[in-house]
């Protein structure tokens, strides 16, 4: 990220990090093929919001973005920028003016973008046209600071990007002197953020049989709360503990969504940045169609689990994949029209 050496080139510009926010990192799809050497999948926790942010910024593929958590950064742009913020609903301001999100945004040279407190959900994605420049490690830009894979944003960091168009595209509405936004926003995806009680679908886990029927019913019937120690590795749940099995498990591979029950009986829902193996028994596995939803839960959020069959989980995965692809294509076409890009297709 500290990539100042390249900024003398005329075709690149810098974003200066004035304040880093609670926990802001560069993310993309993660590293699905390095788990055999112990590297977590990682990547943007809400993959759909990450992809939508890229489409809205005018990117055809998925470029590296900033993942913003809870309270976002303050960023100064030294050149015009084409970008989008998509995901959780944050209070965003440009030069003090409230800026609507979930849509294409144009910033002028010198604009200061401030992503303040989150109002709904927990994580949002700031995508910029052309992506933030930097080197991929093991095929990905996704930061995992504890393993030396990138750092979280720090004050004074510079992010390098390709400047956006010098003027706002036709049809954009001015927001203060140095920003303009497209006249549409993407709807729908924030509907998955259930404010009162998130309902998360699961299939039985690899060690579900180790729990007695009582514990399984309790797992499904109880209301759980996301604990304060939760992070990109896992959601530590609070509630009435389950009776944990006493049997020892030889460490084995896990997946994001695996729900481990350590001896204290309080479930841990593994997230995309989880370890690749684990030795706690797993009571259930969140279906992949609901993983993005988990990314929008914050400490204090309530959730409960509903069982579906494996066949249903696989069917839902395929449906989710198809719908997401179609929706992203639609968002991408709409955004490219708004940016005034002539080329079609995706």
Write out the residues near other proteins by the rule CB under 8 A.
32-39, 137-138, 146-149, 203, 206, 250-258, 275-278, 285-288, 310, 313-314, 316-318, 321-322
The residues pairing with 82 across neighbouring beta strands, listed in sequence order, are: 106
Q: How far is the CB of 189 from other proteins (least distance, A)?
A: 19
| Separation CA 266–CA 27 (nearest Å) | 29
Q: How far is the CB of 277 from other proteins (least distance, A)?
A: 3
Cβ distance to other proteins smaller for residue 39 or 85: 39
Cβ distance to other proteins smaller for residue 278 or 332: 278
Cβ distance to other proteins smaller for residue 90 or 219: 219
Cβ distance to other proteins smaller for residue 39 or 44: 39
Q: How far is the CB of 328 from other proteins (least distance, A)?
A: 14
Q: How far is the CB of 317 from other proteins (least distance, A)?
A: 5
- Which H helix or E strand runs over 319? helix 310-339
Q: How far is the CB of 85 from other proteins (least distance, A)?
A: 28
Q: What is the DSSP string of 38-91?
A: T----S-SSHHHHHHHHHHTT-SS---EEEEESB--EEEESS-EEEEEEEEEEE
| Separation CA 113–CA 23 (nearest Å) | 16
Cβ distance to other proteins smaller for residue 118 or 284: 284
| Nearest residue to 101 (alpha-carbon basis) of 192, 187, 13 | 187
| Separation CA 47–CA 181 (nearest Å) | 23
């Amino acid at each position: 990220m500290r990539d100042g050496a390249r900024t003398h080139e005329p075709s690149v510009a810098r974003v200066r990090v004035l304040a880093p926010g609670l926990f802001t990192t560069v993310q993309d799809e993660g590293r699905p093929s390095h788990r055999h050497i112990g590297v977590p999948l990682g990547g943007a926790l809400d993959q759909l919001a990450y992809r939508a942010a890229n489409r809205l910024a005018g990117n055809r593929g998925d470029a590296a973005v900033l993942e913003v958590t809870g309270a976002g950064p303050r960023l100064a742009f030294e050149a015009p920028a084409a970008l989008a913020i998509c995901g959780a609903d944050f209070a965003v301001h440009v030069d003090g003016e409230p800026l609507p999100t979930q849509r294409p945004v144009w910033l002028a040279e010198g604009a200061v973008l401030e992503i303040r407190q989150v109002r709904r959900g927990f994580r949002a994605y700031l995508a910029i046209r052309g992506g933030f420049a930097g080197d991929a490690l093991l095929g990905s830009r996704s930061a995992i600071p504890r393993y030396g894979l990138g750092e979280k944003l720090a004050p004074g960091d510079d992010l390098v990007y390709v400047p956006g168009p010098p003027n706002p595209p036709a049809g954009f509405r001015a927001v203060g002197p140095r920003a303009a936004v497209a006249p549409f926003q993407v709807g729908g995806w924030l509907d998955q953020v259930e404010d009162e009680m998130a309902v998360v679908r699961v299939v039985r886990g690899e060690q579900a049989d180790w729990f007695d029927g009582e514990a399984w019913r309790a797992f499904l019937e109880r209301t759980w709360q996301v604990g304060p120690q939760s992070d990109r590795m896992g959601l530590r749940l609070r509630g009435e503990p389950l009776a944990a099995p006493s049997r020892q498990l030889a460490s084995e591979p896990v997946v994001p969504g695996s729900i481990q029950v350590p001896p204290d009986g309080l479930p841990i829902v593994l997230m995309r940045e989880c370890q690749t193996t684990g030795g706690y028994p797993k009571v259930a596995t969140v279906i992949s169609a609901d993983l993005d939803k988990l990314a929008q839960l914050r400490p204090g959020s309530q959730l409960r689990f509903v069982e579906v069959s494996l066949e249903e989980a696989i069917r839902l995965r395929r449906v989710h994949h198809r719908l997401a692809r179609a929706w992203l294509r639609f968002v991408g076409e709409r955004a490219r029209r708004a940016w005034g890009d002539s080329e079609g297709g995706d």
